[in-house]
Structure 1
Amino acid sequence: MTDHDTSTTPAWIPKQLAAAAPLSDFLAGAGVLTLAERKVLVQQALVLLEQNYAHLPLKTAMYAVNPVQRLRLLLVRLGRQSDAAMDPEWRFHAELSAIFHSVRDLHTNYVLPRPFAGKIAYLPFQIEHYAAGPGSGYLVTRTVRDFAAPPGFGPGTEVTHWNGVPIARQVELCADRFAGSNPAARHSRGVQSLTVRPLAVHRAPDEEWVVLGYTGADGAARELREPWRVTENLPALVDADALSEAAAAQGLDLVGDEVNRATKLLHVPQVVGLEEAGGPAELTTEPALDAADIPSAMPGFFRARTVTTASGTFGHIRIFTFNTTDPGGFVTEFVRLLGLIPRTGLALDVRGNGGGHIHASEFLLQTLTPRQVVPEPVQFLSTPLNLRICRRHAANPTREIDLGPWFPSLEQSPEIGSAFSATFPITPQEGANAIGQQYHGPVVLVTDARCYSATDIFAAGFQDHGIGPVLGADDNTGAGGANVWTHELLKLLLELPAPVPGPDPESPYRPLPGGANLRVAIRRTVRVGALSGTPLEDLGVVPDVRHRMTRDDLLKDNVDLLNHAGELLAALPRFRLDAEPGPGAALTVRTAGLDRVDVFVAGRPRASVDVVDGDTTLTLSVDPAPGTAVRLEGYRAGSLAATRTLRR
């Protein structure tokens, strides 16, 4: 499906965009917080940053900032004001947002109240950066449907200036204004914020319109004056305030998630139509033809296809988000798509994926590796408030939020002076290894600086388990190494009547006014494998191979990027390990690239045979009972290379 296919676009989307309000009209009706409500927001922000924030020591050291002191000073200034003579509301929002942005953490946010919540400011086109060659620059890559573009303006237009400022300098200014954990992430966020700004977490644009300098298709220099518009964004996929597993296991860049939903609304509304319809009318069971998309039951999550590159034909699966309430269903659909792409190799593309459910991201790893997956562990900052929360939920019978593993170390921390709790994974080990490897071809992971949170965790796990090379369109991933909770979820955890009878009478959490919210990185992530114990926050995942995006990548569906991925895939070994139950205790095993297969029944060794490429019949010592797990391990030169698990 292309960006221009409108066959499934809901009728309401063009109508909503046509009715979008000018920014000036929207802002004229904003601003209803009282002085007392502003004080509540700052006081609650102080609780979260001082007593819950996992990265406070790191951020204070790394960026020489003191957000806690800035909040205290803001409270002092508010104490000198009155309802009749207080700062304009926009200035209050700007100051509180700036304090949160100072720590450069997209997990830790001030979410503005109504009417900003749920709204986006946008321009009716998208700008992207290409970095390859001496002619690197910024291109228009999409325009909103029905946008009355001036002469020479459209996909491929070179943008030169922004309100008279050279475009590269404007990107730097935006990058400094909005959070980003490393130079690559800041630059990427600067580009992203040029044309879409979620008003709940971004300051509204200062300018009411933009004068864009551009070079048209005919080479002529022109200018376009375009007003900012404001409209309702698509709703969030997960209620992060609810007491649920999905909320407790959130690893999500809220800004990126808002922008991705806005991009669907503005530029690929046909996907919205497919989602509203519950997916495509029919799912194929046959491998797709070259370059054709494979219909997915989750069109907002996956795009799968077969691509022919200069180095061969491979699969390409794009994962747009991990933000699901059903990690099991997410993995099931991914496995179905794996079965429809070539066995010769997979370019697994997570660019722009801001994360979501940490279980969903780490459950996926097992499908691509023969190794046992060790989920990335997390830890709390050792504070009295975090200890109180963990004590109340150290034995949660519902297991929605089980904090038992972290409680003993937090209780011990005051005695031994430990700054953090012990480390334990959020993702259950059994779930991370429940189905095992499903794809035996080589895999290359494609990342960029907008990969964040659960996607950072996924990329770290991919690299830590040696699944394949990481091909980066930027120098780092976004470097969001944490589990994020909302203020409302924290408040609920101390209000719950169970497992401790009655709510905590001394809870510091108070209701927030006007639909505002706060988010905080509650548990920080550390690496496993060769980088065991290294924090993921701010460092991110450094790719093994760097690709600089080209003009053709932006305008011709990532053609050079996929050719680069194809070169890497063609150089990697390929394996095959399939098995079908035969009569009695027999198994028919088909292999490629392996020289030995070991068989385990219910965890016990039953057979070991030397193999060559092709079919091999194995006879087990016993006929497994129905439902028994049979695991095959394939080796090449003594190294585990492929596994397959089946049920008799």
Structure 2
Amino acid sequence: MSQPRTMKSTAKKTTAKKASTAKKTSTGKKTSTAKRTSTAKKTSTAKRTSTAKKATAKRTTASKRAAKQTMASTTGTRATRTQATRAAAVEGAAAVPLPDFLASAGTLTLGQRKLLVDQALLILDQNYVHLPLKAAMHAVNPLQRLRVMRARMERQTAETMEPEWMFHRQMSSIFHSVRDLHTNYLLPVPFAGKIAFLPFMIEKCYDGAGEEHYLITRTVTGYSAPQFGPGAEVTHWNGTPIARAVALNGAQFAGSNDAANLARGLESLTLRPLVIQSPPDEDWVNLTYIGLDGSTQELREQWKVTTNLPPMTDLDAVSETSASMGLDLDSDEKARAKKALYVRDVVELEDGQSSAELKTPAAVGGADLPTTMPGVFRAREAVTPSGTFGHLRIFTFSVQDPVAFRDEFVRLAGLLPQRGLIVDVRDNGGGHIYASEFTLQTLTPRYISPEPVQFISTSLNLRICRRHKDNPAGIDLGPWFDSLDLATETGAAYSAAKPITPEDGANDIGQTYHGPVVLITDARVYSATDIFAAGFADHEIGTILGVDDNTGAGGANVWTHGLLAALLNEPPPPDSTSPYEALPNGANMRVSIRRTLRVGQLSGTPVEDLGIRPHETHKMTQADLLEGNVDLLAKAGSLLAAMPHRSLGVTTSFSGTTLTVTLNVEGIDRVDLYLDNRPISSEDLTGAPLSIDILEVTPGQSLRADGYKAGALVASRRRTV
């Protein structure tokens, strides 16, 4: 990394503390070129069946089979992947200046540009579920902008057409105008798979008076500047006060609400996935900052471009995983880039794959519990003034196997203190919707109702659902077909609302953690994570603590143009009248295809643009940014300490055909017992252990104990006897 030019100015007092330098990282990217394993082998969720038992049994069998296949595949390809990862590291280390990278761009013909505009018109008009909402809430008309753009292209020639970067900027601007991070124009090569970056991270915090401060929190290995590092405070960006620069940048990369705008504006100052964001206009930035010694400093730093880590799955493939995605691609790209730049330990453990599942649990930090998914979870004890609680960070729901995700969550939560759990989903852009909704059941005794989703009523969506309404081997769109088929006659704007996540899978193991739970959110929470937060609120699982006043408000299932095209071509024979055409140079588009609705007290309310507001808020402090979220966790600990604690211990033993059940409870005054979902006993408890004999029980039956306090269901536990 080249040494930045610096200029020392007049010393200035500051309270910023000098923090220890970040862990060694590498600006080089390690990109795995190994072949992806089949999504069919990795996905363990079975298709819906007529009964919950059959669906659960199929899902369990598929999960075991996928685990065996994955282990065999991993053993056979590990050496190849390691070599590929090392080779990619050499390539990734050669980050090139932004002007050099842009010099290689610009190969789209005028005809290819027209095709891209035509296909954008198609999916926004015929597939985009949020178009009426966005037109109403944000007074935008992306279809008219595309029509105008297309008409002007008819007056252009190959010699007079605008530079390619201007074409990409217009397309991106039109898609960004709807303020929907599910609906994107994805740039072609050479932009796809690349990131533009500056070698440091900036995060916002507040002082005791409520004033904003923007601190450097991480730098890449090998980068240095006078009095620069974690704790240095940025005051100006290219001469513009930093808060204003963040707001202006946020307006360009708009989120669904003000909090999301600012969060993404800040993040995009130093990191831009070029597949989804236009390259920076400037070749370099001028940064003014208060150094670690209190002096005012300035530096000039050049934008550079390198290769990002690969995505988790092929979202164009016709698979249950790709069809069940709720993913903010911008956040997902940035998360992988941050991991490669700043958390090299995780990259090494995952062997160049994203969200990889290890055969043996491994810990990244000294205080962390070992996990089989180091790129997905971080679990540790949080020592706070109010007590010691569990802190379980979920970085992404973007996984192939939602059952394996749920089970690892359960395992980690079981190893943490049972007096209270902090589930932290900040910066989580979503992923597999099954993974988010399968996990909710483990934290509550309530029956989980997955969020229902709707298609917008169009002739093209009807064609897709008709083709896949009876497709047991592929994507099942049958639940939505009948209502879409009637929509022309009824005038309904949307299809019936049906859940994507199978209800049996969302309830097949029940509650496993019985302590109180606090969920931490921020404005970068999006998509499947918004669905997780909505389910957490709608089922009254616990308290939501936000570091912003709303989540990112992304409530949809998202499909790519490639997947939409494939759905009209599979199963064979392909539809010869399909309006989808192959996009040039690896370009792509994504669209919100099915909108999500809340359940519970807010039943029917859309998640999109409204988001999930927290019960409590906490403004991040300097100590949070530089000392491991110490004040944030203290706030979460105080909330947990004030919540009631429950425990429901159930032990069993057999004597012949008699089952003895011993109950040991806390915060519970009644327990109802069920055998294979049939009630067999209801016992009032005083706090002392109680043993109950149940006659004529067959081993293998399912026992459920529901605990109540003052008539309200507060705990539940299941086990096979």
TM range (shorter): over 0.9
Indicate the residue corresponding to 1:372 in structure 2: 447
- SS of residue in 2 equivalent to 1:356: strand
Tell me if 1:627 matches 2:703.
Answer: no
Q: 2:268 aligns with which of 179, 186, 193?
A: 193
- Rate the CA distance shift 1:421–1:191 in 2: closer, same or farther, 3 A: same
Indicate the residue corresponding to 2:180 in structure 1: 105
User: For 1:272-311, what aligned pairs fall within 5 Å after superposition?
Assistant: 272-276=347-351, 283=361, 292-311=367-386
Indicate the residue corresponding to 2:648 in structure 1: 577
CA shift at 1:282, angstroms?
5.3
- 1:401 and 1:203 mapped to 2: Cα distance? 33
Identity over aligned pairs, percent: 59
- Rate the CA distance shift 1:505–1:214 in 2: closer, same or farther, 3 A: same
Indicate the residue corresponding to 2:23 in structure 1: 4
1:454-495 Cα deviation digits (max 9, x unpaired) = 000000000000000100010100000000000010001111
- SS of residue in 1 equivalent to 2:505: helix
5+ residue gaps, structure 2: 1-20, 31-84
- 1:376 and 1:539 mapped to 2: Cα distance? 15
Residues 591 and 612, structure 1, Cα contact 8 Å, conserved in 2:
no
TM-score (norm: length of structure 2): 0.86
Runs (4 or more) in structure 1 with deviation over 6 Å come to: 9-14, 277-281
CA shift at 1:637, angstroms?
1.1
Indicate the residue corresponding to 2:168 in structure 1: 93
Indicate the residue corresponding to 2:396 in structure 1: 321
Residues 361 and 373, structure 2, Cα contact 8 Å, conserved in 1:
no
Indicate the residue corresponding to 1:439 in structure 2: 513
Indicate the residue corresponding to 1:428 in structure 2: 502
User: For 1:95-494, what aligned pairs fall within 5 Å after superposition?
Assistant: 95-134=170-209, 135-147=211-223, 149-276=224-351, 283=361, 292-398=367-473, 400-494=474-568
Indicate the residue corresponding to 2:599 in structure 1: 528
CA shift at 1:395, angstroms?
1.1
Residues 13 and 265, structure 1, Cα contact 8 Å, conserved in 2:
no
Indicate the residue corresponding to 1:591 in structure 2: 665
Indicate the residue corresponding to 2:13 in structure 1: none
Tell me if 1:546 matches 2:613.
Answer: no
1:540-579 Cα deviation digits (max 9, x unpaired) = 0011111111111111110000000001000001111122
Aligned residue identity for 2:450: P
CA shift at 1:319, angstroms?
0.1
1:296-317 Cα deviation digits (max 9, x unpaired) = 1000000000111011110000
- 1:518 and 1:436 mapped to 2: Cα distance? 38
- 1:174 and 1:305 mapped to 2: Cα distance? 35
Of 559-568 and 577-586, deviating more is 577-586
- Rate the CA distance shift 1:107–1:281 in 2: closer, same or farther, 3 A: closer
CA shift at 1:17, angstroms?
5.3
Aligned residue identity for 1:360: A
CA shift at 1:627, angstroms?
2.2
Q: 2:585 aligns with which of 498, 514, 521?
A: 514
- 1:13 and 1:143 mapped to 2: Cα distance? 22
TM-score (norm: length of structure 1): 0.96
Residues 13 and 269, structure 1, Cα contact 8 Å, conserved in 2:
no
5+ residue gaps, structure 1: none
For these two proteins, the number of residue pairs brought into alignment is 636
- 1:73 and 1:6 mapped to 2: Cα distance? 47
- 2:191 and 2:197 mapped to 1: Cα distance? 13
1:337-369 Cα deviation digits (max 9, x unpaired) = 011000100010000000000000000000000
Indicate the residue corresponding to 1:615 in structure 2: 689
Residues 525 and 535, structure 1, Cα contact 8 Å, conserved in 2:
yes
Tell me if 1:71 matches 2:159.
Answer: no
- Rate the CA distance shift 1:606–1:132 in 2: closer, same or farther, 3 A: farther
CA shift at 1:291, angstroms?
8.2
Residues 291 and 305, structure 1, Cα contact 8 Å, conserved in 2:
no
- 1:80 and 1:580 mapped to 2: Cα distance? 78
1:421-468 Cα deviation digits (max 9, x unpaired) = 110000000000010000000000000000000000000000000000
1:54-76 Cα deviation digits (max 9, x unpaired) = 00000011111100011111111
Of 589-598 and 107-116, deviating more is 589-598
1:283-303 Cα deviation digits (max 9, x unpaired) = 48xxx9x98210110000000
Residues 24 and 220, structure 2, Cα contact 8 Å, conserved in 1:
no
- 1:54 and 1:155 mapped to 2: Cα distance? 43
- 1:554 and 1:189 mapped to 2: Cα distance? 17
- 1:90 and 1:529 mapped to 2: Cα distance? 47
- Rate the CA distance shift 1:484–1:132 in 2: closer, same or farther, 3 A: farther
What RMSD in Å do the two structures reach over aligned CA positions?
A: 1.8
- Rate the CA distance shift 1:504–1:161 in 2: closer, same or farther, 3 A: same
CA shift at 1:619, angstroms?
1.2
- SS of residue in 1 equivalent to 2:160: coil
1:217-249 Cα deviation digits (max 9, x unpaired) = 111111011100100000001211111111000
1:3-31 Cα deviation digits (max 9, x unpaired) = 51679x98668745541000000000111
Residues 5 and 270, structure 1, Cα contact 8 Å, conserved in 2:
no
- 1:464 and 1:556 mapped to 2: Cα distance? 33
- SS of residue in 2 equivalent to 1:432: coil
- Rate the CA distance shift 1:69–1:6 in 2: closer, same or farther, 3 A: closer
